[in-house]
A = this chain, B = another copy of it.
Amino acid sequence: MKPSFREATPDGDTLPRQLCDHCGYVAYDNPKIVVGAVVRFERQILLCRRAIEPSRGKWTLPAGYMEHGESPQEGAAREAFEEATADISIEGLLAVYTIKRIGQVQLIYRARLGSASFAPGPESEAVRLFPEDALPWDDLAFPSVHWALTQERAAGGPFVNPEGSETARL
């Protein structure tokens, strides 16, 4: 038997959900939380070159899905260790982005690396410190990486999606 779902509105609910054709299980498709960090070491920023699709070969922030049993800050630090073997200190919330098309909320933190110690994890081809005035703007993996690296240059926050981006296909 293979997974098979149909769209229908359960009793007492107000929106259509995905119901299993076999057993009636309701698979709520809740927005998912991505946690990540713009990690600084002196006047440089740590980026990972993706070893997996989508956007394989492009540069990204250490980031990934938040898991149960951790705070967003703990999740962002875990992802930096998994993807870049980097031991980071979280400083504060930089941005909350919404990617409506794929149902994602991204919580991106400002962070620091204590020493220039890092190495690629299994999902990264390479990890590098880029001087803040020589970031690989033309080879970034996702629009939200561009937003975060741009907004991180300003004080304050948390920032949100840049104006106009909500309607773009991101």
Query: Is A71 in contact with B93, judged by CB distance below 8 angstroms?
Result: no
Return A152 CB to nearest CB of chain B, in Å.
Answer: 16
Query: Is A103 in contact with B68, judged by CB distance below 8 angstroms?
Result: yes
Query: Is B27 in contact with A27, judged by CB distance below 8 angstroms?
Result: yes
* CB neighbours of A15 from chain B (8 A): 67
Query: Is A96 in contact with B107, judged by CB distance below 8 angstroms?
Result: yes
* CB neighbours of A68 from chain B (8 A): 29-31, 100, 103
**A interface majority secondary structure:** loop
Query: Is A31 in contact with B103, judged by CB distance below 8 angstroms?
Result: no
Return A19 CB to nearest CB of chain B, in Å.
Answer: 10
- Which one of A1-9, A111-119, A140-148 is at the B interface? A1-9
Considering the complex, give the chain B residue whose CB is closest to the CB of A15. B67
Query: Is B100 in contact with A70, judged by CB distance below 8 angstroms?
Result: yes
Considering the complex, give the chain B residue whose CB is closest to the CB of A97. B71
Return A158 CB to nearest CB of chain B, in Å.
Answer: 6
Return A156 CB to nearest CB of chain B, in Å.
Answer: 11
* CB neighbours of A2 from chain B (8 A): 23-24
Q: List residues of chain A with CB under 8 Å of any chain B CB.
A: 1-4, 15, 20, 22-25, 27, 29-33, 65-73, 93, 96, 98, 100, 103, 105, 107, 158, 160-161, 166
The 6 closest A-B pairs by CB, nearest first: A3-B25, A71-B98, A3-B23, A1-B23, A68-B103, A30-B32
5 pairs, A vs B, C-beta closer than 8 Å: A2-B23, A3-B20, A3-B24, A29-B68, A31-B33
